[in-house]
């Protein structure tokens, strides 16, 4: 299956039923790149659904076995993509699917992304799913709690 505007539309705007029918009709591997000639791009169905902030389709893909945690070589982990977009609905779907909220990807902790965005709802969501505000994530001993305190934000009080 080659990536096309129609494939993008289905994954970004389609309903779970529409995407399920497409997956079955085209016999799509939910973890395969839709651009096979450039495997480093790793444009998977999940990645395209994340770009469209289509939480119901992200949930469907996770239920069908899409890798929802970080993958080596990926530009962004799926959770990081949702956090950067400040998409709490999709972030919740990924966390419910078992994404590790304490996984440092490319030197960035999910909780730090939410703090940088100053998004209280995302911070609380991550903590609800086990994000540790006292986890040291760099060589300087920085923790999300220390970062918030330095910004005069008592979100973890």
Asked, for residue 90, whether it belongs to a domain, the answer is no
Asked, for residue 4, whether it belongs to a domain, the answer is yes
Q: Is the separation of the CB atoms in 137 and 143 below 8 Å? A: yes
pLDDT at 34: 84
The CATH number of residue 60's host domain is: 1.25.40
Asked, for residue 136, whether it belongs to a domain, the answer is no
Read off the pLDDT of residues 96-149 as tens digits, 9 standing for 90 and up: 999 999 988 777 899 999 999 999 999 999 999 999 999 998 889 999 999 999
Asked, for residue 116, whether it belongs to a domain, the answer is no
The single-letter DSSP state of residue 77 is -
pLDDT at 71: 66
pLDDT at 39: 56
Asked, for residue 55, whether it belongs to a domain, the answer is yes
C-alpha distances (whole Å) from 67 to each of 26, 34, 85, 142 are 19, 15, 19, 29
Asked, for residue 46, whether it belongs to a domain, the answer is yes
User: How does the average pLDDT of the chain come out, rounded?
Assistant: 90
Integer Cα distance of 23 and 106 in angstroms: 31
pLDDT above 90 covers a percentage of the chain that reads 72
Range of the domain at 67: 1-74
Q: How many residues does the chain have?
A: 157
pLDDT value at 60 more than 90: yes
Phi, psi at residue 105, to the nearest 5°? -120, 125
Asked, for residue 82, whether it belongs to a domain, the answer is no
pLDDT at 4: 84
Q: Is the separation of the CB atoms in 77 and 100 below 8 Å? A: no
Asked, for residue 64, whether it belongs to a domain, the answer is yes
How many structural domains does the chain have? 1
pLDDT at 41: 57
């Amino acid at each position: 299956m080659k990536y096309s505007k129609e494939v993008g539309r289905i994954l970004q705007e389609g309903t779970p039923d529409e995407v399920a029918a497409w997956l079955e009709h085209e016999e799509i591997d939910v973890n395969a790149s839709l651009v096979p000639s450039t495997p480093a791009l790793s444009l998977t169905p999940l990645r395209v659904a994340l770009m469209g902030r289509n939480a119901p389709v992200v949930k469907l893909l996770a239920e069908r076995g899409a890798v929802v945690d970080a993958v080596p070589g990926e530009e962004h982990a799926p959770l990081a993509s949702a956090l950067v977009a400040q998409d709490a609905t999709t972030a919740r779907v990924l966390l419910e699917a078992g994404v590790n909220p304490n996984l440092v990807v490319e030197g960035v902790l999910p909780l730090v992304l939410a703090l940088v965005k100053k998004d209280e709802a995302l911070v609380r969501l991550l903590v609800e799913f086990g994000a540790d505000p006292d986890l040291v994530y760099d060589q300087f001993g920085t923790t999300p709690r220390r970062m918030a305190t330095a910004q005069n934000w008592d979100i973890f009080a």
